[in-house]
Chain A
Amino acid sequence: MTNKSVTRRGVLKSGAVAGTGLALPTIFTASSAAAFTNEPTGASVTLGFNVPQTGPYAEEGNDELLAQQLAVEHLNGEGDGGCLNTFTSKALQGNGILGKKVEFVTGDTQTKSDAARASAKSMIEKDGAIMINGGSSSGVAVAVQGLCQEAGVIFMAGLTHANDTTGKDKKANGFRHFFNAYMSGAALAPVLAAEMGKERRAYHLTADYNWGWTQEESIVASTEALGWETVNTVKTPLASTDFSSYIAPVLNSGADVLVLNHYGGNMVNSLTNAIQFGLLDKVANGKDFKIVVPLYSELMAAGAGENIKGVLGSMNWNWQLQDEGTKAFVKSFGEKYGKPPSNSAQTCYAQVLLYADACERAGTFNPCGIVEALEDFEFDGLGNGPTWYRGADHQCFKDVLVVRGNENPTNEYDTLEIVEITPRAQVEYDPEHPMFAGGELGKCNPGA
């Protein structure tokens, strides 16, 4: 723990000396001296890491934070360099960004839109953060993305799976590395058909808020396209802690598959309840009853314990992938923190590197330059194979993983096994797809 040099203080001190006396007042409005919001003038640049540190997603936030700290180390040329060695773009030299040392500030989103915006604002207004990275829910991502658009900084979204983030709520200053509900559906459906057959009757339990609805819509559409039938879709209140009264009627409904459009604590409890009711041991319509959890995360898998065995779902990334980028990242994360990274950690790590790389290639910290550098950027070496940041909606396209709860885990980390790596082409869609229609990207806003 001697990385005390990673602070903005020393640098600001030296920077402040220059501003002694009554410096020229600046107004952060339409016309002002600065070219864009929080233009770094000293020898360092500050990134803002906004993750849930309290509330139910605190563990996920913590994992994201660890990954982001690691990314900062690598950018500053400390540690083993991680994915800097495998990234196909070679603009990053390990000497910070554009020669400026990278520093960071952290904030707590509390997984609430209001609190997340407050924390992002304080990083922008008080600490001079030039970009905001991270987060663990779609509501928060959309709220903070809107804020960053108004304030004129870049937003990299962290874990957000709802279609709306790059659909009707897309913004020019925001990018999403994570995959989305539509892609989950597109990747899962063929595997489901192959494993369970084309004549299945599905029963959906859906968390009653925006993300749940878009996921339900996506999964229903992609499974029905295969010939599945949807028996019922039931909305469950977010505040539910016990799902017994929603699970109990499933067996009698004529369904033979249960789809849990839940995340986090909701998913852990609903899956635990479903196993309690013995659904997986039952036979319905002459077929073995199955459960599907379209969106998995490692921490949820850990929370659900034994219950996830054999349950299919999809993921953005998994540490067990064998490409070079993944191996490099897992190695440096694992050696530093003693555990493999989660997929939200990997997303946040990759986003910090991509942001830095875009700055280098654009030669500026100006958000508009960065947007231009990231739009339609193709690269490889950060995990998931060849990746494309689509310019039309700022959604990232890469391979999507279909995973299954491991029947025989050998340690506490390989609770999920990769069933299939769905190629990128299969999950791509038109930017004007009805599930993403409405809303405009708008123009990049440099603020100031």
Chain B
Amino acid sequence: MLGLNKKDTGLLIIVAILTLLAPFILNPFPEGSAMAQFNAGYPDLMQRFVIFGIFAIGFNILFGLTGYLSFGHAAFLGVGSYSAVWMFKLLSYNILPAIALSVVVAGLFSLLIGFVSLRRSGIYFSILTLAFAQMSFALAYSVLSNPKFNLTNGETGLQVYADDPQILQGANAPDLPHLFGLPMRATYTMDVGAWSFDFNAGYYLCAVVLMVVFYLSIRIFRSPFGMMLRAVKSNQQRMNYTGLNSKPYTLAAFVISGMYAGLAGGLMAAMDPLAGAERMQWTASGEVVLMTILGGTGTLIGPVLGAGFIKYFENIFSKINDNVLHSWFAFLPDGLEDAVVFVIHPFIGKGWHLTLGILFMLVVIYLPGGLVEGGQRLLNRFKRKKSNTDDATSGKTEPAE
């Protein structure tokens, strides 16, 4: 289907099902139950899952295929967000021109930075990208927001003001980001019994975009171009000796992943029309690196999983406080309840960084291939068991994966 082999089609379908049914999948616990704290199916977080998924998919095209570890990709996301908000300010709240511009600007910006940075490889490349991104962040945070020339609105973040021109904004158009009149914030809430599911227009827009870019990334992975990028990763020197100039390929990969980042930035602004400078900081660049490695570098689905993993912790674990803990363990006798809460306390709420750090280490130590490897191991174990029972019944053996 669509020029994909059977396995990839399967993967794409799985991703499509997962994203389209996310409002159900992420809200498995009835509202009001003690476990509802772990529900993640509210619009903002679902949007974040998908947007950071797109960001990580793009990053993986560069890092997973060519092995070039960029530490400055957040700059492209930030530039994308800024251009989108500028389109809101100048034209209208319609998100199409905003997202289009954010992709284009991020593409140009990454072309510039990529052209310079790709003159070096290895850790030098990483430091170069880091340096460019940190410079962008520092300038966006202060210099580019001085009253005379306010490009970024600094610390507060770029946002739309009532006195902005918005020349194409129709009289009846919603006063918040929309797609031809459909506001991104529009949410349809379905109550089924004790459960409640949110279907959000913005989320589904992001989900569709995710499927498209996921499909594109599969095509890139399977194309001769992708093959060439892998060749860069395995041995660039040998490739150069055969007379091939690898630079155009790596630059193309860099720009493509920069455009993915710009797209993610544009979508972020479209979901919430404010662009903060912190999205360009090195910690944000580091975050996408972590997402990709955590999920599984070079795998198709891994980065999306990694993105979901980190954003889940950031948004769900940080909100568990002692009160919530006490309500969970209310069934225990008082002394024991306090003891349990005391033990868990450092890991939740304001301690969510600690939990995340420990999990990073555990994943890297025990699952070098990231979450995808974990999934495969589970699957294999399951299959082996199944094939064992198959052996017993039919005597057939299946080839190992």
Contact = CB atoms under 8 A, between A and B. Distances in A.
Given A122-B315, A125-B43, A238 B156 contact: no
A239 B323 contact: no
A105 B295 CA distance: 30
Interface residues of A, number: 71
| Chain A, interface SS category | mixed
Contact of B350 (A16, A54, A113, A125): A54
B230 interface: no
Contact of B183 (A25, A29, A119): A29
Contacts of B314: 115, 118
A148 interface: no
Contact of A147 (B193, B272, B315, B323): B272
Interface in A325-339: none
A4 B157 contact: no
Interface footprint category on B: 35 or more
B157 A143 contact: yes
Contacts of B43: 121, 125
B22 to A, nearest CB: 14
Interface in B44-71: 44-45, 48
B162 interface: yes
A28 to B, nearest CB: 5
A107 B318 contact: yes
B189 interface: yes
Given A16-B194, A211-B155, A3 B45 contact: no
Contacts of B327: 4, 7, 9
B31 interface: yes
B194 A19 contact: yes
A117 B47 CA distance: 13
A22 interface: yes
B188 A25 contact: yes
Given A2-B334, A20-B194, A125 B157 contact: no
B326 A210 contact: no
Interface stretch (B32-40, B234-242, B243-251): B32-40
A138 interface: yes
Interface in A113-163: 113-115, 117-119, 121-123, 125-126, 137-139, 142-143, 146-147, 150
Interface in A89-119: 104-108, 112-115, 117-119
B142 A119 contact: no
Given A22-B191, A25-B190, A4 B326 contact: yes
A13 interface: yes
Interface stretch (B7-15, B102-110, B218-226, B274-282): B274-282
A353 to B, nearest CB: 20
A138 B141 CA distance: 14
Interface in B324-355: 324, 326-327, 330, 334, 337-338, 341, 349-350, 352-353
A23 interface: yes
Given A121-B272, A439-B161, A210 B154 contact: yes
Interface in B187-207: 187-194, 198
A8 B322 CA distance: 13
Contacts of B161: 168, 439
Interface string B286-315: 000000000000000000000000000011
Contacts of B33: 9, 13
B176 interface: yes
A22 B193 CA distance: 6
Contacts of B324: 7
Contacts of B337: 1, 4
B89 to A, nearest CB: 14
A286 interface: no
A209 interface: yes
A16 B31 contact: yes
Nearest to B174: A30
Contacts of B157: 113-114, 139, 142-143
Contacts of B318: 53-54, 107-108, 119
A122 B156 contact: no
A125 B319 contact: no
Nearest to B182: A29
B145 interface: yes
B30 interface: yes
Contact of B186 (A1, A12, A27, A123): A27
A307 interface: no
A125 B198 contact: yes
A118 B44 contact: yes
B321 interface: yes
A233 interface: no
A209 B187 CA distance: 36
A242 interface: no
B32 A25 contact: no
B32 A16 contact: yes
A15 interface: yes
Contact of A237 (B142, B188, B274, B276): B142
A108 B350 contact: yes
Interface string A196-225: 000000000000111101000000000000
B53 to A, nearest CB: 16
A113 B276 contact: yes
Nearest to A208: B142
B194 A28 contact: no
Contacts of A16: 30-32, 194
B274 A117 contact: yes
A442 B162 CA distance: 9
Nearest to A126: B42
8 contacts: A16-B31, A21-B193, A106-B321, A139-B276, A143-B157, A209-B154, A210-B156, A235-B142
Interface of B: 30-34, 36, 39, 42-45, 48, 138, 141-142, 145, 147, 154-157, 159, 161-163, 174, 176, 183, 185-194, 198, 272, 274, 276, 278-279, 314-315, 318-319, 321-324, 326-327, 330, 334, 337-338, 341, 349-350, 352-353
Closest 4 CB pairs of A and B: A12-B32, A53-B350, A139-B155, A113-B276
Given A1-B341, A150-B185, 15 more contacts: A4-B330, A19-B194, A25-B191, A27-B188, A54-B352, A113-B157, A118-B45, A118-B314, A122-B44, A143-B276, A208-B142, A211-B155, A238-B155, A439-B161, A440-B162
